[in-house]
Structure 1
Amino acid sequence: MSRLRVGLLSNPTAAQGTAHRVGRQVGHLLRLAGISVVDLSGPSAPVARARAEEVRDSLTALVVVGGDGTVSLGAEIVAETPVRLGIVPAGSGNDFARALGLTVNDPESSTRALLHALSRPVVTIDAIEITADGDHAPPHRSLALGNVNLGFDALVNARANSARTGHSIRYTTAVLRELPAFAPLPFWIEVDGGERLDVDATILTLCSSGVFGRGMKMVPDARIDDGQLELATVSGIGRAQLLRLFPKVFAGTHTSLDAVDIRPVREVRVGLRHGRSLRAYADGEPRAMLPLTARVLPGAVRLLADPSTVRGLDPVAEGAQ
């Protein structure tokens, strides 16, 4: 019997219960392969977190089954520890998994990939640490692996999460419903400790993977292991131009437009002027209210994946594995 011990954490509600069923299949297949599996799933994220943290030091890897929010939860549990994070995408969006090129909703293929990765070199990827400024600080560190959405993209995310439509059209529907009343938001931004700048922006996103909204390629060339983030800003356009922008973002052909600015950063402080309030979203989940600080944690998460098959890695770093 293998000495490898893997924790399995499934989101019981992701994709209307699909993740729970996929998690059971993955657990069964891992056990058949001789892996010791401990099921850490719970009725809520806090319960699952507590179970995982209690046994974390005994685990070789933590395998999460669900969508982007479940992946973020797993990252928070294993960040800056030797425990590797395995991902079985089975949520409604799966944007981080898409950015990596992982197979979606295929438990057999996902399990084979995890078993293969156990014998492969460790892949380290960056995380984004999010902390609220002022009195809204969360009770624990909030991490994301994909993106932090701060503008129109955050408002759309909030509307999409509350929608009852099928997940395949939820984001598009939310865009169309949010658009008529939207106006550029009056942000202030401090980049890498620099001076405070006022920016009226439509979209403001801090990217590691650069993919969100069920496949929108906000930063097509983003890397998840280069020790930096990309701050993507869209400004100076109206509603009609914004609507025409989205198909280009899905194709990743928007980056040369004058309205789009993408620059590398390590830390960003951002808030809203004129007493406006807004909640940031990251990897599909609600996070801190603005103002907040988000910074890169280079190599904070050890990914259970084959470095030769994962997209979004720095080519030089990958070749050095």
Structure 2
Amino acid sequence: MSRLRVGLLANPTAAQGTAHRMGRQVGHLLRLAGISVVDVSGPTAAVARARAEEVRDSLTALVVVGGDGTVSLGAEIVAGTPVRLGIVAAGGGNDFARSLGLAINDPESSTRALLHALSRPVVTVDAIEITAAGHGAGHRSLALGNVNLGFDALVNARANGARAGHTIRYTSAVLRELRAFTPLPFWLEIDGGERIEVDATVLALCNSGMFGRGMRMVPDARIDDGKLELAIVSGVGRAQLLRLLPRVFAGTHTSLAAVDIRPVEQLTIGLRHGRGLRAYADGEARALLPLTARVLPGAVRLLAEPAPDAAVVLEDAR
């Protein structure tokens, strides 16, 4: 029997139960390969977190099976520890897995990749720490992909409340939000600098730069450079925004005058009026604005071998 011990955390509700079924397959395949597997899945994220944290110090890796929200839960559990995070993409968007070039909804290919990565150099990636500055001040969460703060956050909220398939839900949410949307009046403090004001349509703080089931908001984003990318779309109306979306999927929008992308390490952000707006990160609801988000360089060690064009830091395998 291998001395390697892997925790397995499958989201029981992701993709209408697909993640739960895939988790059982992955666990079976890992055991056939001689890996000791402890299932830490639970009926809720809180239960799964508690189970994983209880055995974390005995694990070589924690394998999460689900979508982007499950990946960020795994990141919160292992960040800053030697435990590596394995990803089996089985959710609705799977954008962080897509950014790494990982297999989607394929338990056999995913397991082969996990087993191969166990003998390969460790991949380290940055994380985003999100801290509430207003209501619930001090509450902290982590994300690996992106923090959505504008029209993109409103679409995420509406899509999460719909019952149709993910692609239909997201498209429908975009069209419904567009009907009454007007740019939001933000204030920003970038890297501790002076407060500035901007009326923005889309505002996202990006690590992977990909969200919305394949939208390449920041196509050149790196997940290992100790920086985040602040993407702001301003000065566009509803019709222009609708025409912009296909270009975002292709990643050809970055040269437009309405698009501003800049590297940052920390962002504090709020609204200039009393409207409540909740940030979304990796597809999940997070803190209400105002909030502070900052990069945590090299916070998570991945059990993965990303595609050649996904530049990441490699360490000696341990």
Normalising by structure 2, what TM-score?
0.97
Deviation at 1:318, TM superposition (A): 5.6
SS in structure 1 opposite 2:186? strand
For structure 1, list consecutive stretches of 5 or more residues without a partner in the other structure. Answer: none
Residue identity matched to 2:203: L
Spell out the pairing of 1:53-68 with structure 2 (5 A cutoff). Answer: 53-68=53-68
Which residue of the partner structure matches residue 162 of structure 1?
Answer: 161
Distance 1:105 1:138, change over 3 A: farther
Residue identity matched to 1:35: I
SS in structure 2 opposite 1:16? helix
Residue identity matched to 2:296: L
Which residue of the partner structure matches residue 281 of structure 2?
Answer: 282
Equivalent residues of 1:281, 1:287 under 8 A apart? yes
Cα RMSD after superposing both structures = 1.4
| 1:104 maps to 2:104 | yes
Residue identity matched to 2:79: A
Equivalent residues of 1:138, 1:288 under 8 A apart? no
SS in structure 2 opposite 1:253? coil
Spell out the pairing of 1:199-218 with structure 2 (5 A cutoff). Answer: 199-218=198-217
Equivalent residues of 2:124, 2:314 under 8 A apart? no
Residue identity matched to 1:96: F
| 1:9-58 Cα deviation digits (max 9, x unpaired) | 00000000000000000000000000000000000000000000000000
For structure 2, list consecutive stretches of 5 or more residues without a partner in the other structure. Answer: none
Tell me, in whole angstroms, the C-alpha distance in 1 between the residues paired with 2:254 and 2:316.
Answer: 30
SS in structure 2 opposite 1:136? coil
Spell out the pairing of 1:137-176 with structure 2 (5 A cutoff). Answer: 137=137, 139=139, 141-176=140-175
Tell me, in whole angstroms, the C-alpha distance in 2 between the residues paired with 1:259 and 1:231.
Answer: 14
Equivalent residues of 2:122, 2:316 under 8 A apart? no
Equivalent residues of 1:209, 1:312 under 8 A apart? no
Residue identity matched to 1:116: H
Which residue of the partner structure matches residue 26 of structure 2?
Answer: 26
Residue identity matched to 2:311: L
**Which of 310, 314, 317 pairs up with 1:312?**
310
Residue identity matched to 1:56: R
Which residue of the partner structure matches residue 113 of structure 2?
Answer: 113
Which runs of 4 or more aligned residues in structure 1 lie more than 3 Å from their structure 2 counterparts after TM superposition?
317-321
Tell me, in whole angstroms, the C-alpha distance in 2 between the residues paired with 1:168 and 1:229.
Answer: 27
Normalising by structure 1, what TM-score?
0.96
Tell me, in whole angstroms, the C-alpha distance in 1 between the residues paired with 2:167 and 2:175.
Answer: 15
| 1:198-249 Cα deviation digits (max 9, x unpaired) | 1000000000000000000000000000100000000001000000010000
Deviation at 1:166, TM superposition (A): 1.4
Residue identity matched to 2:101: G
SS in structure 2 opposite 1:135? coil
Spell out the pairing of 1:202-281 with structure 2 (5 A cutoff). Answer: 202-281=201-280
Equivalent residues of 2:122, 2:303 under 8 A apart? yes
Equivalent residues of 2:66, 2:90 under 8 A apart? yes
Deviation at 1:274, TM superposition (A): 1.6
Deviation at 1:137, TM superposition (A): 2.9
Deviation at 1:168, TM superposition (A): 2.4
Deviation at 1:135, TM superposition (A): 3.5
Tell me, in whole angstroms, the C-alpha distance in 2 between the residues paired with 1:273 and 1:290.
Answer: 11
Deviation at 1:310, TM superposition (A): 5.6
Tell me, in whole angstroms, the C-alpha distance in 2 between the residues paired with 1:137 and 1:11.
Answer: 28
Residue identity matched to 1:105: N
Which residue of the partner structure matches residue 50 of structure 1?
Answer: 50
- Percentage of pairs with the same residue: 82
Which residue of the partner structure matches residue 187 of structure 1?
Answer: 186
